[in-house]
Amino acid sequence: MRAHPLIIAIAGLVLFGAGYFVGSHNPALELQANAKEVPRREQALSPSSAPSYRPPADFASQLTTSDYSGREKILEAIDSENLFAHLEQLLAESSPDGLDYDLKSSIETMLKRSMEEDPNGTIAWILGIEHTGNRDYLFKEVIDEKENAEWVAQNFDQLLNSAMSTENPHELLKSVIGTKTDTSPEEAIRLSKEMLRKDDGQFDFPSGLGEASAKAGWTTLFEYYKDSWLPDHGSSGWTWGGEFPRDFDFASFAAAWKKHEDSLQLPKSGRFYEPPEMLWQAWSERDPQAALEFMTSGGSRTFDLDTFLSGYSKSASPSEFLETSAGILANDPQARATVGRKVGDYLEDRPDALPEFTTSIAQNQADPALVSGVVARSLESERMLARIGIPILESVPRSEQLGLVRSAFTSQTSDGFESYYIGASTLERIIPALAQFGHREAEIRATLEND
């Protein structure tokens, strides 16, 4: 690794990120014993010289062929000054992803011992490793170890500065910042947005920060989600799937989010790469009326009907879900595909709800648009056809079955004209099912083939 510049803090002047050190084989400043006497972010942990000792060539084999007690004896016999050499040899033979459980456990044991004996030297040695994959792996192992938590917290700024002074520091910084996730999510969010941007502009938050932010309250979670819009960003986006506290203030978050989104004056192209989709779903589950009112009043482009129904389906009874879905269709006929898909999925996940739906069809009480939307969804696979499609067809008179299937693939264009199209594979799938009810193939094709 080529040497890095050494930046010396001028007396009385605090420079953020000033704790740089010389490269992997050069001695540098050591962490002072009393960090409180030195301005924060002015110190950096520094690497030490690489050991010259060479472990036995069969060291890895000794570990993998021994039982637990045998491995413990092998590791205990290693002199302290030779721990780094043994770690280097294991990682020279296999990448972190290729290590088996016994070797990973042995590495953890050696790192734990090294941190107990010389935490500054251990961190300095790790940061001096030229192979960034091995460096990042060992660093994360040390930072994530619960027994090191107090030391890491006390030396947080120095660790951050030392990480910043290396080449390709992203994963190192992410590990350090991640230690703030539970104790200070607000600081973790701020540092992530300052230091953890990917090449395409996305924030790269440490694992668990979204859920920790939700636990801290809606204002913290708002800071987590805001400013994640990227122009011309066409990916599907992603979001964490954690839990929300029972007293989480969804309405206040929604109001703040709408104000934020409106202030951006967003173009049509682009998207929030981490939209608050799971928040909208949780709100729809807990307070569907408020969530639906927000969504239908133009609350956010990240909150759509699919998201609402996904959340609402978790708490609604079959009658509530079916009634609400029919009401949505009555107000917005263009939503048939979305509603039909979500209701179809609901009926598949909730077998107890299907009899209620088919009974309402048989009694002519079901909304026709909803029924045709669900039928379209049921014909997308053999499984859905068997579980949902056939029971629905059984609930209508034989004379209406072909018409029902045709209606499922008939849509109305914006200018009021009807358009019909059924895929060839879908038609071939439905022919045997309809034949069970006595329909002849010629009759089926004459009714259902595309005009």
Single residue among 124, 151, 179 that ends a domain in this structure: 179
Please check whether residue 308 lies inside any domain of the structure: no
Single residue among 298, 328, 344 that ends a domain in this structure: 298
d(CA 268, CA 149): 45
- pLDDT recorded at residue 239: 61
Please check whether residue 307 lies inside any domain of the structure: no
d(CA 306, CA 312): 10
- pLDDT recorded at residue 71: 96
Q: What stretches of 65-197 show up as alpha helix (H) in DSSP?
A: 68-76, 83-93, 101-117, 119-127, 132-144, 149-154, 156-164, 170-178, 185-195
Whether residue 170 is found in the same domain as residue 198:
no
- Burial classification of residue 292, based on how many CB atoms lie within 10 Å of its CB (0-12 exposed, 13-18 middle, 19 or more buried): buried
Mean pLDDT by runs of 10 across the 451 residues of the chain is 31 30 31 34 42 86 95 96 95 92 96 96 96 96 96 97 94 97 97 90 90 96 90 58 89 96 80 87 96 94 94 95 94 92 95 94 93 95 95 96 95 79 94 96 96 82
Please check whether residue 305 lies inside any domain of the structure: no
Please check whether residue 310 lies inside any domain of the structure: no
| C-alpha dihedral (306, 309, 311, 314), degrees to nearest 10 | -140
Whether residue 106 is found in the same domain as residue 193:
no
- pLDDT recorded at residue 267: 74
Which pTM does this prediction carry?
A: 0.79
Whether residue 173 is found in the same domain as residue 288:
no
d(CA 64, CA 234): 47
- pLDDT recorded at residue 264: 86
Whether residue 375 is found in the same domain as residue 330:
yes
Please check whether residue 192 lies inside any domain of the structure: yes
3-state DSSP assignment of residue 410: strand
Amino acid at residue number 356: E
Domain that holds residue 78: 1-179
Identify which of 123, 202, 148 has the alpha carbon closest to the alpha carbon of residue 170: 202
Whether residue 367 is found in the same domain as residue 266:
no
Single residue among 148, 179, 210 that ends a domain in this structure: 179
Whether residue 166 is found in the same domain as residue 58:
yes
Whether residue 290 is found in the same domain as residue 388:
no
d(CA 358, CA 366): 8
d(CA 219, CA 203): 18
Count of structural domains, the chain? 3
Whether residue 154 is found in the same domain as residue 288:
no
d(CA 111, CA 127): 14
Identify which of 274, 271, 332 has the alpha carbon closest to the alpha carbon of residue 306: 332
Whether residue 117 is found in the same domain as residue 195:
no
Whether residue 209 is found in the same domain as residue 131:
no
Please check whether residue 217 lies inside any domain of the structure: yes
Please check whether residue 230 lies inside any domain of the structure: yes
Whether residue 162 is found in the same domain as residue 116:
yes
Please check whether residue 303 lies inside any domain of the structure: no
Whether residue 108 is found in the same domain as residue 215:
no
d(CA 425, CA 378): 14
